[in-house]
Homo-oligomer: A and B are copies of this chain.
Amino acid sequence: MNIERRRNGVRAALEEARSGGRSIGFVPTMGALHDGHLSLIRAARAASDIVVVSVFVNPLQFGPDEDFQSYPRDETRDLALLEAEGVDVAFVPKVEEMYPRDASTTIRIARLSESFEGAHRPGHFDGVATVCAKLFNIVAPDRAYFGQKDAQQIAVLKRMVRDLDLPLEIIVCATVRAPDGLALSSRNAYLSTKDRRRATVLFRALQAGAAAAAAADFAGAEQTMRAVLEGIEVDYAACVDPQTFGAPRAGAPVLLVVAAYIGATRLIDNLEVEPAGESAPSTSGLRPR
């Protein structure tokens, strides 16, 4: 595995592959890799000639009171995992390599970046969009892989790719969950043993709200989620349109989203549900012939 710490190193390492017409799959990560990341890497591996993974804890997407300093870092373990997955190039830049002292360019996606995670973490999605645009420009992949767990991040990045005509495709992979349903996250490492058990409440809330959401009873779905989450500090528990994070539309897929504190640890999760009846074959005779 080629380990590159400089942008020019990555470009040079990929130049031959690119000019030879080989496809590049890219998985941007902040390290502290878990099975969710590995599922993205395997999807990239299956579909691409060359797999590139970046490991970079991006300061731009952390608020001043957030956990940039304490975010889990274990480069040795991460690189061993990437090597074992057959990754071709690991890009592991330092902050100074990515952001010169006078860097001043920001990408903002209006509205979509301002609600839910964006409302609770001002500037977060500007930081995500900006670093991903940089990484996409450095690696120039055909496809970049992200986990469904960060659903609003996916909506933001898909919108950015469309709006800026970035020449790549965003591929979304299913959330990987522990056997008890907790969505894998590097931040789960912050949980005490007791809090780890309690943390399943997020997924239980989403599951409890799914039936009402599928029936387009969005207020009912939210009430049900909040009932399951009672006694827990909730940032939001809502039904949204998966693309816009605005109001969900009856008859279209709806996304249940939740953010809540388990002890001092803020966790997020989501669940997409199809409108009721859509999965069964239509027998209504209303289809145009």
Residues of A within 8 A of B (CB): 7, 11, 19, 21, 100, 102-112, 129-130, 133-134, 137-138, 140, 159-160, 162-167, 244
Contact = CB atoms under 8 A, between A and B. Distances in A.
B109 A108 contact: no
Contacts of A130: 164
A140 B109 CA distance: 23
Contacts of A140: 167
A244 B100 CA distance: 14
Contacts of A133: 164
B100 A110 contact: no
A165 B104 contact: no
B108 A105 contact: yes
Contact of A105 (B11, B21, B137, B164): B164
A156 to B, nearest CB: 9
Contacts of A111: 104
Nearest to A112: B104
A106 to B, nearest CB: 5
Contacts of A19: 21
Contacts of A11: 167
A105 B160 contact: yes
A96 to B, nearest CB: 14
A106 B159 CA distance: 11
Given A19-B21, A21-B19, A104 B163 contact: yes
A280 B165 CA distance: 48
Contact of A165 (B7, B109, B162): B7
A7 B164 CA distance: 12
Nearest to A20: B19
B108 A137 contact: no
A124 B228 CA distance: 49
Given A133-B164, A134-B165, 12 more contacts: A11-B167, A19-B21, A100-B163, A103-B163, A104-B109, A104-B110, A104-B163, A105-B108, A105-B110, A105-B160, A105-B163, A108-B108
A213 B281 CA distance: 78
Contacts of A129: 105
Contacts of A167: 11, 137, 140
7 contacts: A105-B109, A105-B163, A106-B108, A107-B164, A134-B163, A134-B165, A137-B166
A108 B100 CA distance: 16
B165 A138 contact: yes
Nearest to A140: B167
A133 to B, nearest CB: 5
Nearest to A137: B165
